[in-house]
Amino acid sequence: MSGDEQYVIRARGLTKQFGQLTAVDHLDLDVPRSIIYGFLGPNGSGKTTAIRMLCGLLTPTEGKASVLGFDVPGDANPLKSRIGYMTQKFSLYGDLTVRENLRFIADVYSYPRADRNRRIDELLENYDLGNQHKQLAGTMSGGQKQRLALACAVLNKPELLLLDEPTSAVDPKSRRDFWAKLFALADAGTTILVSTHYMDEAERCHRLAILDHGRKVADGSPADLQAATGMSVIEVLADNPWAAQLELNKMQEIRSVTQLGIRLRVLIPDTVHDPLGRVTGALNSDGMKADCTLVKASLEDVFVAVTLKDDAAEKAA
């Protein structure tokens, strides 16, 4: 397999501007086959715009991309039959039943009529929708709508599945069950690009890119990103977390202090000597009781660290 054939998506300098707003800023992207690749970032970071360019729905202002060997947006029409796309608002027809929604999608993809009913029955079983096949989609719960939207997105057995914030409107159990379906699809050979702002979901991805203000600020496996934050992470258990946070914020070498319940997460550049001693000393000198421990970076720590670096670089430019 050649270098290009190893990747389902390759993008270079992909940029989209809306007037004075740059939604995606010179995005470089390489997505290998048969993995779950995540876009992690807050709302407005460019995730949705990037996905729409990659599936040919938006024309880039600058740059180029190849998806499944097709140039987008130039070859978008032949690409459509080989991808699935699921939006966060679940593009379903509420006045059609579950089965009718699936039949409509089969018509859109010109799915072979001889095999259409068998494929729909297979999806109803695989996505636990058999008992709801006559139910109007508009009356379903969030989790049921999510399963139906995913069934519609994979009806044509796509090589590439694009998912835009697919779990933003469902409960934790539905999210967990949904991810089990995604792992099964990836194991069967489907490449999945999924955008999310949930840290726990990003940790499930085989590889991910972190987007901030339209720019890719980090790229790698979750474990690799956690190991390369460039920050020492100190967890602080204090009798008065708020007072401890106020005291630590006075230290110039500290880049971030975040309170998580009764704990504080403190980020200090790993160029600073003895970070644990400095944090402990600062709290003890002020008479505060606190237990400080050097810990492994979480993916949230990674996100904070890379966005801080990006903000500093932008201010320096």
Sign of the alpha-carbon torsion through 51, 150, 171, 89: positive
- Tokens representing 241 are 């977390």
Q: CATH 3.40.50.300 region(s) of the chain?
A: 4-221
In terms of residues, how long is the chain?
317
Q: pLDDT value at position 247?
A: 93
Q: pLDDT value at position 77?
A: 83
Q: pLDDT value at position 95?
A: 94
Query: What is the pairing mode between strands 231-238 and 263-269?
Result: antiparallel
Q: pLDDT value at position 317?
A: 47
CA distance 94 to 273: 60
Q: Please, are residues 299 and 283 in contact by the beta-carbon 8 Å criterion? A: no
Q: Which helix (H) or strand (E) holds 146?
A: helix 142-153
Low-confidence stretches of the chain (pLDDT < 50) are: 1-2, 313, 315-317
4-221 to CATH, choices 3.40.718.10, 3.30.70.141, 3.40.109.10, 3.40.50.300: 3.40.50.300
CA distance 253 to 257: 11
Q: pLDDT value at position 265?
A: 96
* pLDDT tens digits, one per residue of 73-89: 888 888 988 999 998 77
Q: pLDDT value at position 9?
A: 97
Half-sphere exposure of 197 (CA within 13 A, CB side): 12
Q: CATH 3.30.70.920 region(s) of the chain?
A: 230-296
Q: Please, are residues 58 and 67 in contact by the beta-carbon 8 Å criterion? A: no
Helices 98-108, 142-153: axis angle to 10 degrees equals: 20
Q: Which CATH architecture has domain 230-296?
A: 2-Layer Sandwich (3.30)
Query: What is the pairing mode between strands 263-269 and 290-295?
Result: unpaired
